[in-house]
Amino acid sequence: MTTHSSDIRDGVIAGLAAYLMWGILPVYFKTVGSVDTLEVLVHRVIWAVPFGALILAVRSQWPEVKRALTHRAMLGWLSLSAVFIGMNWFVYIWAIQDARIFETSLGYYINPLTNMLAGVVLFRERLRRFQTLAVALAAIGVTVLTVSGGQVPWVALFLAVSFTVYAVIRKKVVIGGMPGLFVETLVLLPFALAWFGYLRAAGLLAFADSDASLVFWLLMAGPVTALPLLCFALAARRLPLTTIGFMQFLAPTLQFLTGIYYGEQLTVAHMICFGFIWVAVLFFSIDAIKAGTKKLPVATPRGA
């Protein structure tokens, strides 16, 4: 087997692993569903730091971290991106615990489309014909769900928009996925530790009074956060952006199926909305095939 073929094979395996882990992430947050959302977020930040440090050591990426921490502008941008990824994580965890998996799935289906709109607004990019159709169909789907359900699917929109803002900020910084995530979690770490201390002092810390099984799963918040990103980084270096773009729809599809598994109510409005979204994904994919790797705006890791 040639080196190129081996790289493609490894990239496909890594990419599928990344989006598979992101796709079944609701199962993890359901497992720790008895723990308050904010405490789960605190554990995600705290335990991502040592696990991320281990990965950085194995991959010899500490120089990137040092450069980010000593470069004022880079640290400033990463601090801002940390705020948005923190908000994204919080809403995502809360939505899973509040039986809104379908909305989280919808959010990550439309995220590539909000990325394209950001390109138009912020970078004066022009939408091609199939891209325009995809955005229009997604907008119709969300409108149908809004009118039929009587309320805006704000969870989906927040997840999509917040991660688009996060991706735009990260474009300002030349840094790898893992080093960038490590710096972001370092920025969030003092706040996470402060809240952890408050919960401990107030006797409200689930981590302190839980059985060994729940403690184990809370500790796993670190690997759950870092491992998919590591796999994504490995895939992104070996695969065309078009391939990564197709793979990214695996995660919200698995989330959708997870919502069915947990018995969430799938209304007619949901089905109509997702129908429009799936057709939008089809047009998005057709455009990706036609455009190749030129301007596919999806080669960024997920926020969940």
Digit-coded pLDDT (tens) for 281-299: 888 888 877 766 444 444 4
What sign results for the dihedral spanned by CA atoms 133, 283, 229, 199? positive
Length of the chain (residues): 304
Q: Which range among 2-11, 32-41, 144-153 shows the weakest confidence by mean pLDDT?
A: 2-11
Indicate the average pLDDT of the chain.
87
Tell me what pLDDT residue 242 has: 67
Helix (H, G, I), strand (E, B) or coil at 186: helix
Distance between CA atoms of residues 226 and 181, nearest Å: 8
User: Tell me: the pLDDT tens digits for 269-278?
Assistant: 888 889 998 9
Tell me what pLDDT residue 3 has: 57
Tell me what pLDDT residue 295 has: 46
Tell me what pLDDT residue 115 has: 82
Instruction: Map tokens 């099984």 to a residue.
Output: 213
Distance between CA atoms of residues 298 and 241, nearest Å: 7
Quote the tokens at residue 298: 């999806």
Q: Is 129 exposed, middle or buried, given 0-12, 13-18 or 19+ CB atoms closer than 10 A?
A: exposed
Give me the percent of the chain exceeding a pLDDT of 70: 93
Tell me what pLDDT residue 297 has: 47
User: Tell me: the pLDDT tens digits for 189-248?
Assistant: 999 999 999 999 998 888 877 788 999 999 999 999 999 988 888 887 777 766 777 788
Distance between CA atoms of residues 263 and 255, nearest Å: 12
- Residue 157 pLDDT > 60: yes
What are the residue boundaries of the structural domains of the chain, listed by start?
3-291
Helix (H, G, I), strand (E, B) or coil at 294: coil
What DSSP element (H or E) covers 214? helix 212-219
- Residue 87 pLDDT > 70: yes
- What letters, b where the CB count within 10 A reaches 16 and e where it falls short, cover 85-119? bbbbbbbbbbbbbeebbbbbbbbbbbbbbbbbbbb
Quote the tokens at residue 268: 């007619």
pTM summary value = 0.88
Confidence grade of residue 27 (pLDDT, cut at 50, 70, 90): very high
Quote the tokens at residue 109: 């289906």
